[in-house]
Amino acid sequence: MKYTPLNDTHEALGAKMAEFAGYNMPISYTSIKEEHLAVRNSVGVFDVSHMGEFIVRGKEALDLIQKVTSNNVANLEIGDAQYSCLPNHEGGIVDDLLVYRLDEDQCAEGEQAFMLVVNASNIEKDWNWIADHNNFEAKMINISDQTGLLAVQGPKAMDALQKLTDVDLSSLKYYTFKKGKFAGIDNVIVSATGYTGSGGLELYVANADLVQLWEAVFEAGKDLDIKPVGLGARDTLRLEMGYCLYGNDINDETSPIEAGLGWITKTKKGEFNSVDIFRKQRAEGITKKLVGFTVDDRRVPRHGYPIEDAEGNVIGEVTSGTSSPSLEIPIGMGYVPKAFSTIDTEFFVVAGKKRLAAKVVKAPFYKPEK
């Protein structure tokens, strides 16, 4: 079992801890609903230091990342971040990830530098996959065990965090970042990213500085009802937005086109893994599609529950489901034949001996106020 530098802090706060991706992680501190609503209405802080971070730099770093990712990295300027995925060779997904275009102050002339942020459960898998494709003049450095990460999310996040830095946080556009001094700590990557749909920042620091950063963030947000938030609410927040979770909604056998991730699959950028498969799916269409749905019942759809048509034929399977804390209704996602994917199409989710009436809706389920 691995531990983040904040493990003692979480336990002192009374967090319910559990193993996740090999780490001892906080699932909740009070309740998932309370923490979820704190992020939607004020500000919440997640310790997500279990995530993986790789540095890729060199004269052909761009070529390597273009080869292994689906999005077009050539579009990134220094200070930009990008959501993408790592396709395998069969049209599936090795992992989804973020790509950061770093400054080049530590690079030789003609070199570029990037940071890849990958899911905790896939660190070794992703590293080996990218390394196996590194036939380029690119150096890879795994900094996962030296890097801490806080996600400070919610509509009041910027109000709290601006007190801690001279970086103009209001100037940070979505999916951009800056490096600067934050809470007295040098070289913090301040990133306008997150997986909650409620705005905020993600802060990358050296592990040695993580406790100092956590304490400073909570001091800055004490008048804004700031709350620590566990992985339980992280899951309900992302599901309300219709965001995919690797291992549930996307995996080695699901295509990004099927998963509604065509917008990160740039089949015109040049050659990359599985591009011919994705081009064919675009030209000929797909047979199944990931959809969001609501359930007309109090029971919650769960991962693995069968989806049936009106006649009782199994047509798909639930990939994610929960009771939405914001909407107070059961919601879910799952793959169904394309004919059942249009908005307002009805089908049934099988929960034991009960069939729950469900209807396809447009994601996101929850639409934050602007």
Which of 239, 271, 296 marks a domain boundary?
Answer: 239
- The tokens of 338 are what? 């394309």
Q: What domain range includes position 158?
A: 2-49+146-239
What strands lie across the sheet with 52-58, from one edge to the other?
Answer: 81-87, 93-101, 112-118, 52-58, 139-142
102-115 average pLDDT score: 88
| Residues 312 and 229 occupy one common structural domain | no
Confidence of residue 370 (pLDDT cuts 50, 70, 90): low
Among 282, 266, 2, CA closest to 123: 2
| Residues 231 and 366 occupy one common structural domain | no
Tens-place pLDDT, residues 324-361: 999 999 999 999 999 999 999 999 999 999 999 999 99
- The tokens of 293 are what? 């749905």
| Residues 214 and 292 occupy one common structural domain | no
Q: What is the pLDDT of residue 330?
A: 98
Report the C-alpha gap between 90 and 58 in whole angstroms. 29
pLDDT at 106 over 90: no
Domain-located, residue 138: no
Peptide bond just before 155 cis, omega within 30 deg? no
Q: Are strands 330-337 and 346-351 parallel, antiparallel or unpaired?
A: unpaired
* Three-state DSSP state, 329: coil
Residue 85 CB-half CA count within 13 A: 31
Which of 204, 239, 274 marks a domain boundary?
Answer: 239
Mean pLDDT of all residues in the chain?
Answer: 97
| Residues 298 and 365 occupy one common structural domain | yes
Report the C-alpha gap between 314 and 306 in whole angstroms. 6
Domain-located, residue 266: no
- Contact present, 278 and 264 (Cβ < 8 Å): no
| Residues 188 and 301 occupy one common structural domain | no
| Residues 233 and 160 occupy one common structural domain | yes
Confidence of residue 367 (pLDDT cuts 50, 70, 90): confident
Tens-place pLDDT, residues 273-326: 999 999 999 999 999 999 999 999 999 999 999 999 999 999 999 999 999 999
Report the C-alpha gap between 157 and 42 in whole angstroms. 7
Report the C-alpha gap between 67 and 63 in whole angstroms. 6
| Residues 213 and 297 occupy one common structural domain | no
Domain-located, residue 92: no
| Residues 45 and 155 occupy one common structural domain | yes
Domain-located, residue 65: no
Print burial letters for 134-167: b (CB count within 10 Å at least 16), e (below 16): bebebbbebebeebbbbbbbbbbbbbbbeebbeb
Domain-located, residue 278: no
Domain-located, residue 302: yes
Tens-place pLDDT, residues 33-81: 999 999 999 999 999 999 999 999 999 999 999 999 999 999 999 999 9
Here the CATH number for the domain that contains residue 319 is: 2.40.30.110
What strands lie across the sheet with 23-28, from one edge to the other?
Answer: 2-3, 23-28, 16-20
78-102 average pLDDT score: 98
Report the C-alpha gap between 271 and 223 in whole angstroms. 51
Domain-located, residue 294: yes
| Residues 228 and 311 occupy one common structural domain | no
| Residues 24 and 153 occupy one common structural domain | yes
| Residues 232 and 294 occupy one common structural domain | no
Structurally, how many domains does the chain consist of? 2
Here the CATH number for the domain that contains residue 175 is: 3.30.1360.120
Report the C-alpha gap between 73 and 223 in whole angstroms. 40
Which residue in the block uniquely carries the two structure tokens 């690119």? Answer: 138
Confidence of residue 368 (pLDDT cuts 50, 70, 90): confident
187-196 average pLDDT score: 97
| Residues 235 and 153 occupy one common structural domain | yes
